[in-house]
Structure 1
């Protein structure tokens, strides 16, 4: 059953990466049902974990259960009685969240590094596909959106869409490449698992994808992982690791600078950057900082103006909009924290957001402890890739939700001490051997007429 659990986790990851391809190209007529294609897998993981005793028990899961029940009650009080909208809202906020701790119970450190190598290899065809989408016309088949929509992708610059790769939209690369970069930087810092030329090719793929994506979020999110990596260097082996890392980064940087596709990607990316600057009085960085600050300040406005019990869970999602208004859109607001306050109200919404932030702080405490005590940078690197998706990003898009829970689960699973687990198993085996030996030891009966021995 344990191997079945691991296979289900792998299936969840594979569907997370390729569900967009299913919705765009393979089964476009089933684009809407495939939106929740990972839900049955998540339920299967929960079921298998429960029956094998691997379903975790902690305060976070109790809080999730309590908040879910309160969300249903608040929705009924608010007058939102559409059960499908309510169920979909519960799915977004609470349905996949326990996977963070289930993944940590199922995967070992070895499994995490093996999964990281898999994602690094996937980055190669992902980047090749993004380059092809980058060069193809906006209306080309390869650039279609979900449901075979000819105009379903987001415009970038210079007549090009923001290439989503295997994903449905650019939100996929925004979360995929920071996570892959975390594994790449971990491997070049002295924990290499892939053949060095293959690892360098993966690094090239990551660097090429950044400008080709025409997405400032991809660039900045991956940059955060890079900053975390350099901050960890003093605690992970000092000069040797620093020299090795800088050398490999230099090789990747020099190699990619000669590629025409990288140079063109930089040109188009800077066009997108300049467009953002024009829309913000010539200050592109100001537009980014304004968006970041707005994500933290606007929710307080919505919290102050939201109904006490909110408008009902699920109302602010696109699916909720379709079910309630007959069209896709935002019935409430687009930013996540504002949506949460308007759906759940200031008290319950604040409690849910506090839970998300508390999860990040809990992961950070454990990751930093591993960095300082075990000189292990992988948990910190993984956390730098998933902290913002867990705490702040929208969870209604399935891809963002999937990477948030996967990233959190990998942070915890990377902390698993496999050697300690092996030692415990070895002790259990020794105990079993001793018990079996005692059971198999024959009893010696005294010979007829002999006097039994006595204690002196």
Structure 2
């Protein structure tokens, strides 16, 4: 059953990355149902974990169940009677969260590193696709939105879209590349699992994708991962050894890449977007707009909370799906930012409880990662934390991609804390499990005696 759960977790990860391609190009007529294509996989994981006794019932999962039940009661008290909207809201806030702890119980450290290798390998075609989208006109088929919608992508700058790669929208690369950068820096610092040329190619793919994305969020989020890596270097024991020399070599190659035409084009578009953002502030400073946006994300929600109904407006009402079901149009019926939406959906008390849970979970993961760094000199958990902390605590969960990366990031972090099991030990455990299963079955009729050959 453990192999089944691992297979389903891999399926969840693959769909997380490629579900946008299914919705845009492969099956555009099924774009709406494919919005929840990972939900059946999550349900299958829960069933397999339940039957195998691997479904965790810790304090976090119990709290999730309690908050979900309270949200149902509050929604009915608020007069929210649309069960589809209610169910979709529960899916957003609570439906996928227990996967974090199932990943922690099922995946080994080597599984985490293998998933990291997969992300790095995907980064190469992802960047090539983004370059193609970046250089194509907004009306090109490669830049179609979900459901085959022409011009369905977000404008960036200089007549370019913000290329989403395989994802539905730019929110995908904003979450993908920081996590890919975390695994790249971990491997480049001396823990390599990929062949060196492939690792270099994946690192350069991340480097090129950031300016091409024309996304300040992607750039800053990846910068946070790099800052976490630099800060962790002394404690992780990364000195002037092979790992440090590898990073210096890669930095030199990065300088060469900076002279490539596509890098220059991406940088020009990114800086245009940066200057446009700066022009919206009174000081004309882009950093002021970023700081103001961050501070506003913390202050505005509490202003909404002060005016929100006690029981809120009902869970799911503030999502795009809720808007389509209730008002017949896609948009934000309540508020665009996540914390304001939560307060308006759940009310000031229950909303604060849910957001408090997310913040507490983020702090818990951060402390676990710091413990691994200081006591085990392991920097992989803190790098994953740097990539996943913002999606878990602050970002919108209504977009399926953001929710997926929040869950995957938290699960990979906890699973990376598991002790390293050598391949031989894993084989011995599999043999032992097979022996136990065979012992439970009825003994078969003994076969004819054959000469026994020793294996060497």
TM, length-normalised to structure 1: 0.92
The aligned residue for residue 271 of structure 1 is 272
CA distance in 2, matches of 1:39, 1:321: 21
**Is 2:256 aligned against 1:255?**
yes
Bigger mean CA offset, 232-241 vs 38-47: 232-241
The aligned residue for residue 417 of structure 2 is 415
Structure 1 runs not aligned, ≥5 long: 437-456
What is the SS of the residue equivalent to 1:309? coil
Quote how far apart the aligned CAs of 1:309 are: 0.5
Flag the 1:335–1:50 CA change in 2: closer, same or farther, 3 A.
same
* Aligned pairs (5 A) from 1:288-367: 288-367=290-369
Which of residues 374, 380, 383 is equivalent to 1:381? 383
Deviations 1:295-325 (A, max 9, x none): 1111110111111110100000001111111
Bigger mean CA offset, 311-320 vs 238-247: 238-247
Bigger mean CA offset, 371-380 vs 281-290: 281-290
Quote how far apart the aligned CAs of 1:258 are: 2.5
* Aligned pairs (5 A) from 1:217-228: 217-228=217-228
Quote how far apart the aligned CAs of 1:253 are: 1.8
Deviations 1:189-246 (A, max 9, x none): 1100011111011111000000000010110000000000000001111423573354
CA distance in 2, matches of 1:250, 1:73: 55
Flag the 1:252–1:363 CA change in 2: closer, same or farther, 3 A.
farther
The aligned residue for residue 43 of structure 1 is 43
Q: Is the 8 A contact 1:141 1:150 kept in 2?
A: yes
Deviations 1:404-437 (A, max 9, x none): 00000000000011349959x77x96xx99xx9x
Structure 2 runs not aligned, ≥5 long: 440-456
What is the SS of the residue equivalent to 2:314? coil
What is the SS of the residue equivalent to 1:156? strand
CA distance in 1, matches of 2:196, 2:275: 37
* Aligned pairs (5 A) from 1:91-110: 91-110=91-110
**C-alpha root-mean-square deviation of aligned residues, in Å?**
2.0
Work out the number of aligned pairs and report it.
Answer: 433
What is the SS of the residue equivalent to 1:206? helix
CA distance in 2, matches of 1:287, 1:356: 26
CA distance in 2, matches of 1:418, 1:377: 14
What is the SS of the residue equivalent to 1:138? coil
What is the SS of the residue equivalent to 2:165? coil
Quote how far apart the aligned CAs of 1:42 are: 0.3
Deviations 1:146-194 (A, max 9, x none): 0110011000011010000000000000000000000000001110001
CA distance in 2, matches of 1:136, 1:411: 37
Deviations 1:67-122 (A, max 9, x none): 00000000011111111100000000000011110111111000000110011010
CA distance in 2, matches of 1:32, 1:353: 28
CA distance in 1, matches of 2:289, 2:91: 33
CA distance in 2, matches of 1:122, 1:148: 23
What is the SS of the residue equivalent to 2:221? helix
What is the SS of the residue equivalent to 2:156? strand
* Aligned pairs (5 A) from 1:154-169: 154-169=154-169
CA distance in 2, matches of 1:346, 1:420: 49
Q: Is the 8 A contact 2:35 2:400 kept in 1?
A: yes
The aligned residue for residue 374 of structure 2 is 372
Q: Is the 8 A contact 1:379 1:411 kept in 2?
A: yes
The aligned residue for residue 141 of structure 1 is 141
CA distance in 2, matches of 1:106, 1:399: 22
The aligned residue for residue 21 of structure 2 is 21
Q: Is the 8 A contact 2:23 2:30 kept in 1?
A: yes
What is the SS of the residue equivalent to 1:393? coil
CA distance in 2, matches of 1:245, 1:58: 42
CA distance in 2, matches of 1:249, 1:69: 51
CA distance in 1, matches of 2:266, 2:105: 41
What is the SS of the residue equivalent to 1:71? helix
CA distance in 2, matches of 1:350, 1:163: 35
Deviations 1:307-345 (A, max 9, x none): 111010000000111111111111100000000001001
The aligned residue for residue 446 of structure 1 is none
Q: Is the 8 A contact 2:108 2:421 kept in 1?
A: no
Q: Is the 8 A contact 1:188 1:244 kept in 2?
A: no
TM, length-normalised to structure 2: 0.92
Quote how far apart the aligned CAs of 1:279 are: 1.5
Moved over 2 A (4+): 240-246, 418-423
Q: Is the 8 A contact 1:24 1:144 kept in 2?
A: yes
Quote how far apart the aligned CAs of 1:257 are: 1.5
Larger radius of gyration: 1
What is the SS of the residue equivalent to 1:239? coil
